[in-house]
Amino acid sequence: MRKMFLLAAKDLRSEARAKEIAPPMVLFGLILVFLFTLNFPPGAGQAPVPGPVVGAVGSRELAGAFLWVSLLFAGILGFGRNASTEREGNRIEGLLLAPVDPAALFAGKALANFCYLWTLEAVLLPVFVLFFGVPAGLLLPGILLVALVANVGLAAAGTLFGAASQYVRARELVMPLLLFPVIIPLVLGAERLTSSLLTGGGLGSQSRWFILMGAFDLAIVAIGAVAFEFIVNE
Amino acid sequence: MSPLTTARRSGTGTMVLIALVAVGMVVGIAAIFFWVPTANCLVPGVADGQPCFDARPDYIQHIFYMHVPIAYVAYLAFGVVLVGSLAYLKTGRRRWDILAHASAEIGVLFTGLCLLTGMLWGRPRWGTFWTWDETLTLTFVLFLIYVGYLLFRGLAADPTRGARIAAVIGIFGFVDVPLVHFSMVWWRTLHPAEVVINPAGPQLPASELITMLFLLVVYTGLYVALMLLRTRLGRAEEALAEAEAALEERPPPRAHVAATP
C-alpha cells in the first residue's frame, strides 16, 4: 500500500518537473470541449429540456456525452504517455528489479493516472459550464461522485491497456483500439448520469448505473492487479 | 508412431468431420427450405400460423435457422478464448495459446456473420439494417474487442510476451461482456426474445425445433473442424518459426567451392 503511494508520488514528482503529460492533456481537452460546444446554438445550455418525444434528444443530454468523449480523448493521451515514460531508457526494468510487487506497480501507475484525470476534470468542468452556459448548480456536487466512480475504472483500464500497448508496433494506434471497446459500460454510465444531472433528473433514479460502473471498477482493478505481472515481466 | 503418421491420422479424422459437416449443412438447408413451415411467426404474442406484420408468408424468418447457430458458435468461440487464455497464463504451454488464438479468429468470423445475417433479417422486418438495439450493439462491441485482440496479436513485437498480453486481453474482454450487456439493456432494446431457451419450455413447433437443434449440432461440428484446421496451422507456424530461429543460431556453413562452368 505504501509502495503504491511511493510509486505514484514518483510519477507525479517527475511530471511536476517535466510537465509533459498534464499540460498537453488539458489543452487537448479544452480544444475538444470548445469544438463540441461550438456546434450548439447559443444559449442551448439554458434552453428548457424538451418533453419526452421519441427520438428527440435535448441539447443538455447530448452535452453530457460530449463532455465525456472530450475527457476520454484527452485522458488517453495521458495514459499513453504515462505508460511510455517507463519504456524509455528501460526504466521499467529498474522498477522490476526493486522489491516491489507488480500489483503495487500497477496500483501506483493507476493512482498517477487517477490524479491526471482529476486535474483534467478540474479544468474541463468549469470550462464546460462556462462555454455551454449550463447552471453550475445542476452539476455540482453530483458530478464529483460520477467522476470519482468513472475515474477509478478509467485510470485502471488506462494503466492496464497502456502498459499492454507498449509491447507492440504502432502503439499509439493500438491503445485506443483496445481501450475504447472495453470501457463502454463505464462511458455510457458516466454519460447517462451526467445527462440526468443536466436535465435535472438527479442521481437518485439512476443508481443502477452506479452499480454497473462499480462492478466494472472492481473487475478492472482486480484483473489489472493480478495480470500486470504477465504484461511487464520478461 | 512417428509424428508424421499422427498428423496424417488426425488429418483423416478432420476430413471425416468436414465431410459430415458438409452433409449436415445440405440436410439442414433442405430442411429450412422444404420442411419447416413458413408463415409462422417467431415474434412472441403472435398466434401460431399468423403472419408477422403483413399478409405475406414470412420467408425471412427462415434465416434464424442460420443466425442462431452462428451466434451460438461466436459465443462458444469466445468462451474457448477465455479458457485457453486462462490455461496459457497458468501453465505457459504454447498449445493453449494456439487454441485461444484460433478460437478468437473463428469467433470474429462468426460474429461478423451473425451481424450480417441479423441485418439481412432486420431490413425487411424492422425496416432498417441497423438499430441501436442492445443485442446488436453488444455483438458489435464483442466484434470490436476481439478484432482488437487479433490486431494486437498481429502487431506484437515479441511473440511470447505478445501471447501473454493477448491472454490478459482475452480474459478481460470476456469478463467485460456481461457489463456491456447490462449497459446496453438499460439503454434500450428491440431484439426478439429467446424462444428456445425459455422457462415455459421451447416455444417452437417440433419441425422447427428439430431443424434448429440439428443445425446447432452441425455448426458445432463446423466450429470443431475449423478449430482442428486452425490449431494445426498454428502448430505448423510455430514449428516453422522455431526452425528458422535454429537456423539463424547455427554458424553459416562453410562455403563449398562450387565449380561453375
Confidence of residue A72 (pLDDT cuts 50, 70, 90): very high
Residue A178 contacts B, CB cutoff 8 Å? yes
Rounded mean pLDDT, A144-158: 92
Sequential DSSP letters for B195-235: SSS-TT---S-HHHHHHHHHHHHHHHHHHHHHHHHHHHHHH
Total number of domains in chain A: 1
Question: Cβ contacts (< 8 Å) between A189 and chain B: which residues?
Answer: 183
What share of chain B has pLDDT > 90, as a percent?
23
Percent of chain B with pLDDT over 70: 75
Enter the ipTM. Answer: 0.80
- Per-residue pLDDT at A137: 78
Handedness of CA B10, B12, B14, B20 (dihedral sign): negative
Chain A residues within an 8 Å CB radius of B151: 174, 177
Percent above pLDDT 90 for chain A: 18
As a whole number of angstroms, the distance between CA B1 and CA B19 comes to 26
B106: cell is 473463428
**Among A182, A227, A230, beta carbon nearest to B176:** A182
pLDDT at A15: 79
Per residue in B192-220, pLDDT tens? Answer: 555 555 555 556 677 778 888 888 999 99
The answer, yes or no, to whether residue B78 has pLDDT greater than 70, is: yes
As a three-state string, the secondary structure of B89-138 is: HHHCCHHHHHHHHHHHHHHHHHHHHHHHHHHHHHHHHHCCCCCCCHHHHH
State what percent of residues in chain A have pLDDT above 70: 92
Residue A90, pLDDT > 50, answer: yes
- Rounded CA-CA distance B66/A18 in Å is 58
Interface membership of B173 toward A (CB under 8 Å)? yes
Contact status, residue A203 vs residue A194, Cβ threshold 8 Å = no
Q: What does the block give as the cell for A153? A: 475504472
Q: How many other CB atoms are found less than 10 A from the CB of residue B21?
A: 21
Q: Could A169 and B155 be called an inter-chain contact, meaning their C-beta atoms sit closer than 8 Å?
A: yes
Taking 3-state DSSP, the helix, strand and coil percentages for chain A, each rounded to the nearest 5, stand at 80, 0, 20
Selecting from A181, A188, A208 the residue whose C-beta is nearest the C-beta of B148 gives A181
Q: How many angstroms separate the CA atoms of A187 and A124, rounded?
A: 17
The whole domain housing A58 covers: 2-232
pLDDT at B42: 47
> Which residues of chain A make contact with B155, given a CB cutoff of 8 A?
168-170, 174
- pLDDT > 80? residue B184: no
pLDDT tens digits, residue range B9-29? 667 888 888 999 999 999 888
Taking the CA of residue A216 and the nearest CA in chain B, the distance in Å comes to 7
d(CA B138, CA A15): 38
Query: For residue B214, which of B3, B20, B46, B83 has the smallest C-alpha distance?
Result: B20
* C-alpha span between A81 and B143 (Å, rounded): 27
